[in-house]
Chain A
Amino acid sequence: MAMRLYSVAVYLFLYVPIGIIVLFSFNSGRHASSFEGLSVKWYGKALSNPFVLEALTTSLIIALSAALLSSLMGTAAALALQRIRGPLRAMFDGLIYVAIMIPGIVIGIATLIALVTVFDLLNPVLGALWPADAAPPKLSLGYASVIAAHTLFTMSLVIVLIRARIAGMDRALIEASEDLYASPWRTFLQITLPQLFPAILAGFLLSFTFSFDDFIISFFVAGPNTTLPIYVFSSIRRGITPEVNAIGTMVLGASLTLLIIAQVLLRRREGR
Chain B
Amino acid sequence: MTGESTKGRWLTVALLTPTSAWFLVMLVMPLVVVAIFSFGERSAVGGYTASFTFDQYANLPSRFTAFRNTLTYAPFGTLVSLLVAYPLAYFLAVKVSPKWRLLLLVLVIVPFWTSLLIRTYAWIFILGGRGIPTLLDYIGFEGVRLINTPFAVVVGIIYGYLPLMVFPIFVSLERLDKRLLEASNDLGGTPFRTFLQVTLPLSMPGVATGCMLVFILLMGEFLIPAFLGGGKVFFIGNALVDLFLQSRNWPFGSAVAVTLVIIMLITVSLYMRLTMGRAADRNESIM
Q: Tell me if B122 counts as interface (CB < 8 A to partner A).
A: yes
**Contact: A76 with B15, CB < 8 Å?**
yes
- Report chain A residues within 8 Å CB of B220: 103-106
Query: How far apart are B36's CB and chain A's nearest CB, in angstroms?
Result: 9
Interface size class of A (residues with CB under 8 A): 35 or more
- Report chain A residues within 8 Å CB of B110: 256, 259-260, 263
Q: Tell me if B128 counts as interface (CB < 8 A to partner A).
A: yes
- Report chain B residues within 8 Å CB of A152: 22-23, 26-27
Q: Tell me if A68 counts as interface (CB < 8 A to partner B).
A: no
Q: Tell me if B205 counts as interface (CB < 8 A to partner A).
A: no
Q: Which positions 100-127 of chain B face chain A at CB distance < 8 Å?
A: 102, 104, 106-111, 113-119, 121-126
Q: CB-CB contacts of A109-131 with B at 8 A, as 1s and 0s?
A: 11111110110000000000000
Chain A, interface SS category:
helix
**Contact: B109 with A263, CB < 8 Å?**
yes
**Contact: B88 with A6, CB < 8 Å?**
yes
**Contact: A32 with B245, CB < 8 Å?**
no
Q: Tell me if B222 counts as interface (CB < 8 A to partner A).
A: yes
**Contact: B115 with A252, CB < 8 Å?**
yes
**Contact: B115 with A17, CB < 8 Å?**
no
| Most B CB within 10 A of own CB, among A4, A219, A236 | A236
Q: Tell me if A244 counts as interface (CB < 8 A to partner B).
A: yes
**Contact: B122 with A17, CB < 8 Å?**
yes
Q: Tell me if B260 counts as interface (CB < 8 A to partner A).
A: yes
- Report chain A residues within 8 Å CB of B250: 113
- Report chain B residues within 8 Å CB of A117: 33, 48
Knowing A113-B37, A113-B48, A152-B27 touch, does A80 contact B118 (C-beta < 8 A)?
no
**Contact: A31 with B257, CB < 8 Å?**
no
Query: How far apart are B78's CB and chain A's nearest CB, in angstroms?
Result: 15
A interface with B by C-beta (< 8 Å): 3-4, 6-7, 10-11, 13-15, 17-18, 20-21, 24, 31-33, 73-74, 76-77, 79-81, 83-84, 92, 95, 98-99, 101-107, 109-115, 117-118, 148-149, 151-152, 155, 159-160, 206, 209-210, 213, 215-216, 219-220, 229, 232-233, 236, 240, 244-245, 248, 251-252, 255-256, 259-260, 263, 267
